[in-house]
Structure 1
Amino acid sequence: MLDLLPELKDWLDDGRDVAVATVVSVGGSAPRGPGAALAVDRAGTVIGSVSGGCVEGAVYDLCAQALETGQSAVERFGYSDEDAFAVGLTCGGVLDVMVTPVFANTPVRALVSSALDTAERGEPVALVRVVEGPPEHLGATLLVHSDGSAEGSLGIHEDLDRTAAAQARAALDAGRTGTVELSPDGSHCPDGLTLLVEAGAPPPRMIVFGAVDFAAALVRAGKFLGYHVTVCDARPVFTTQARFPEADEVVVDWPHRYLRGTRTDGRTVLCLLTHDAKFDVPLLEVALRLPVAFVGAMGSRRTHTDRDRRLREVGLSETELTRLRSPIGLDLGGRTPEETALSIAAEIVAARRGGTGRPLTGTATPIHHSGTAHAHRSSGRPQLPAEVADIAS
């Protein structure tokens, strides 16, 4: 539904009854991904698209039916070899679509309106809906804000609402929309209940400073974790798209100058791989005073000691210095760029999710962290709980 902002918000503000079709999941070759949406009002007006044209007519009919019955429904569309004229995707993909009626003066209407209002303000928000489970709960909706607070209920089990809210916060953290399979009691074991988590937030940023071989490996790890990855270095001969083809952006600029002028937020991860004082000190002087999620710097312990001294000389406080993770990465014993990138990625995940970095073998602590016991050392924001099953994998 968030895909239809601002048109859907205007419709709801006008008091229209609408039915919204949302792509739940795709398989094979499909034109649009999860979260793509189409809406129809009682006058037959349409906004949005779920397939680029292949099944729009059939989805329109489902929306018209939902406006008459007031019932949510999920339909699968796929190409039929037996019947070339059957409704489906000619590209050969499979598309699951959920249709939800959004009527005036209903709980769902209030939640959708609140979600659209929040998204329009530029604030992260997620909608969680039951797409497979007890028929009487199909379409039940939970709205989750970035701080973990929730509105509404899935109406099945209070523990399910808590688990769903945790999954939604993790989806917002990754900026991804997708499905999660749970049990009706909220446990993480799949047991016939599927939720669509629709995240209204851009992917978090990872900015890698230093156009070195280790950076190329870290770019790949960052993309795998769902980050929008930027590589920045002041040396144009090394800082090229050809050397970092998987990066979303490659920027030639002095790192501290670029960081001062670019957008960051409480989810941003900064990784300094230059281990060169002329780059690191001015950059960290800026980075450690920003409200970002993670600041880490590569280098030996000797380099770290020298860097710490230089940072104190330029006036950084003890509190600001404690935000620096250096040497960056968990102790995995790695040596290659890929192993080093894995070590850094592991520390980022542990910081983001409240993990300890210790082996799970022999411990009695929960595998999935469902609380907010740990805070981001670098921002004071609560950790996002629980890994996401389908979303963050």
Structure 2
Amino acid sequence: MSGGALLPLAEAQQRLLALARPGPIIDLPLADCLGHYLARPLTARRRQPGADLSAMDGYAIAWGDLPGPWRIAGESAAGRPYAATLSSGEAARISTGAILPHGADTIMVQEDAERSGDTLRLAGKGPPERGAHIRRAGHDFEPETLLAPAGTPVDARLIALAAMAGHGTLPVHRRLSVAILDTGDELVPPGAPLPTPAHIPASNGVMLAAILAHCPVDATLPPNVPDRIDAFAHALAAQADADIIITTGGASVGDHDLLQPALARLGGSVQFWRLAMRPGKPVMVAQLGQTIVLGLPGNPVSAFVTAQVLLLPLVRTLLGATQALPQTREYRAGTPLPAVGSRQDFVRVQVIEGTIHPLGNQDSGALHALWQADALAIRPANAPAAGIGDPIDCLMLG
């Protein structure tokens, strides 16, 4: 496939996500839903609260009986409501979260109460108004209330909300299977001795697996693929049941860049490659049957950046997200930034007192500078030089 013009990142994202088809919908127990996305809207099955509740520890009284005194007729505790109706001049001890007894309409807090045996007197200022310190039935939501639309990410808050709304499961798309293939004769497993100065530790695979660790993804790291077309083809074929195959390195057109010919041997089809971004130009997207093959650059910073703007949006889309692209935050430039060439630039920066400052080493293999960075400053293609104080969109890291 010939090189041609470099593809703008926004177009590449659009074309990549158009290939994504979320898998079947399953009903998953709440405890297993973290990181998924709602496949259908979430609606309440019950009213919350289900009855008028006390918001404070104290005494349930009738506003008209103020300033008292009252006779203590009983107690309403959470899960054990007072069963009778309070008559005029009667009060009930009540706990936070307990149901308001019939005949009461106000809570007198503990700090305003003085009790002697079964006699209750007002010791402070008392409730400020009728209905004080009561959580009214349905004030959070009513049955059939739309709580969250389809495509919403499931976090701890939504899990708690779903449980309170009467759900034990949530409709989500199944977990994804992702195979991560490090490629290249020069790579040695992390921690293993390096046979020669020409060898380097394989960092991309473990990095990408870590990026995906917070997603509902089953990621596998097969052995490194050597620079032989038969090895490439075999590795791809062995993972052909995965939803996504990620490769790092081998996606360009050098003598040892064998991803494209290996795909051709297996009947795969390249959708696009070579993006107008820096770092990250040698990206390739292909299809192998129903599997999406994402060929990322071999340089680790390039692999990291392209994973943020392509891999994670793809995973989110396959999981049913409606907002898959990364969100940015605006900062002011703390130092002048040079004009940008024909490729969109992702600059590693530190945030210092609310302004961004580029790190000195922007090489696509410089992992130490990536670790030091707080964000990636996004500089559009052909952008003019930016001065101190100019607004810059940033993709936050960490």
Q: TM-score, normalised by structure 1?
A: 0.31
Structure number with higher helix proportion: 1
Structure number with higher strand proportion: 2
Larger gyration radius, structure 1 or structure 2: 2
Q: TM-score, normalised by structure 2?
A: 0.31
